[in-house]
Chain A
Amino acid sequence: MLSKHCFLGFLVTFFLTGETETQPNCDSLKPQKVHFQSRNFHNILHWQSGIGCTSNSSFYTVQYKIYGEKSWTNKESCSNIQQVFCDLTDETSLVQESYYGRVRMNSMGIPSDWVITKRFTPCWETKIDSPFMNLTRSNQSLLVSLGAPNLPDRAPKEKTMSMEDYYELVYRVFITNKFLKKEQMIYEGTHRVVEIEAVAPHMSYCVVAEMYQPMFDRRSQRSKKICVEIS
């Protein structure tokens, strides 16, 4: 009696698993790990293909919305694509807003369910790269030229603001020399050229910069350190 049951159980399992192999169910089609990756406010939606669904006939479609909107918007350039990422920078350009993205896969005419990201707030989640920095000598002062990492262009009506103001980023400049025990922050602000005055002759100075998000007290990686000797 018992062995009969076992055999029946085996048969049922065998046929069930056999079936899932020949005809993939919607769950296995679903894209996996749908999430935003954000760097310097470039917001890219990434995902992975569903289990065992890496065939050439897999196409993905992406939609997005601002949190609170009733309907989703198609991202036209990410409709029926085979790549596993989609650039939503323009669609998510209000940096303190909250957004959602979602993806579904279409394989041989069968669409999977949508897979949705967690709520995404660009200013909170983006990682800011180090600034560009250059150093020039002019008589008894040093000129530090600063440039923000590659930030997305803003919509035309927001162009009146500087890049730094729009993204609420400031530069920080630090200096060291052999007499300073610790490096000193000599500048924090949005100017792209900073003059370091009253540098002593025959002394070498090293300067380094970082981007800073005052809102969260967050700093980027440092720029390359540049050292100069004052003649």
Chain B
Amino acid sequence: MKLAYWMYAGPAHIGTLRIASSFKNVHAIMHAPLGDDYFNVMRSMLERERDYTPVTASIVDRNVLARGSQEKVVDNIVRKDKEETPDLIVLTPTCTSSILQEDLQNFVDRAQLDAQGDVMLADVNHYRVNELQAADRTLSQIVQYYINKARKNGDLPSGKTEKPSVNIIGMTTLGFHNNHDCTELKRLMVDLGIEVNEVIPEGASVHNLKNLPRAWFNLVPYREVGMMAAEFLQAELGMPYVNITPMGVVETARCLRAIAKVLNEQGANVNYEDYIDNQTRFVSQAAWFSRSIDCQNLTGKKAVVFGDNTHAAAMTKILAREMGIHVVLAGTYCKYDADWFKEQVSEYCDEILISDDNGAIGDAIARIEPSAIFGTQMERHVGKRLNIPCGVIAAPIHIQNFPVGYRPFLGYEGANQVVDLVYNSFTLGMEDHLLEIFGGHDTKEVITKGISADSDLNWHKEAQAELNKVPGFVRGKVKRNTEKFARDRGINEITLEVMYAAKEAVGA
């Protein structure tokens, strides 16, 4: 048992659901108790999704506990197959089904007999993998399933596309800025004259998965999701992949060079050096920013970075290599993939922290006292407590991290965005600091006095106590309305009764 208040990566089934609901016309059925369909709420709220999230639960209740699911799961699959005719139904185990140890594969096999669409059991174990690992696995599992199916049916297309082309693998729903990153990568590919063959899983149809082999190579922009699928495609079909995250100017260039190499090996004869040079020096603002006086002011400032592997590693490199910032500590919560992270960042920071205990990272921040933090929402709140600004660079994230405006983290526009994020975090810190030096602009007190100074009314102790329970941001309004109510009626003493009466009368 572990005492925990907060977790960075969610449970395994969330990963599976993120993959399933990213595809078009794929439905996931969770084998879970009432209330575990919380994923739908997250997707509907955070992503502001217009469509019903294609996830339902086959409810595990007391009866299931006593007699097993029996026909229930099968019936639910077949029913959903009829109602919505999805291409694929993914039966998703949860922590509950992990312990019940029902033969879910058997349910899938039985349901497949009656269902028009495909039915599959997600191969994830709650106690062995987390959200990210499960997402990686499920994506790979679905890709394998449809490649193998096409092979069996003999309709796996042979040969590559005429022009160089790419599959972008790993874009998912609820992924950190994934939709903007996807747009940016597509633009980048257009610039490079590379056709985008397929993007998976976001917005893809499972029927198109058989076309994956037509691409010249696979691009896996995120470390966490997509590697297993890319490795499968390489092993089975000899497709090369590039898995350098194009985040930051230097890494974007490295990614493009890797792409050029992969394409040239297949006879494309491309050279992106001019493009890289032009983008770096004249189109993107990031390289120029590094050279500007603004950035000079940041030299040697201390920062702490924490997040998932992809973003924490890329951010550490950008801060240290491209902006001259002193990254005291870089950390990740992807414990299962710690070696990769260490290898990526070891030359760019003083310390490395591999932990999924937010207490540990909180303590480290308090000890180091950096000028800025780049982390998840949790680090943002640590920062609030310690008065240190924080830029959010990785999940877990809140609704404000799903911006409507265009905010990629990848590619050249992504580099611009990262500059703003970094610079804004630090200058805010600087501004606060200067305000403190110059005594601050504390107008708060004055304003309240101005509004309530004319109070000739007597507040009873209980009424005052009651008023103090009202949340601060409406307290002034409640007070004013109550006093107005009292004055209008010639009451000069405000008791609890008067407060309630005022509330009833004027909604104070």
Are the chains A and B members of one assembly? no
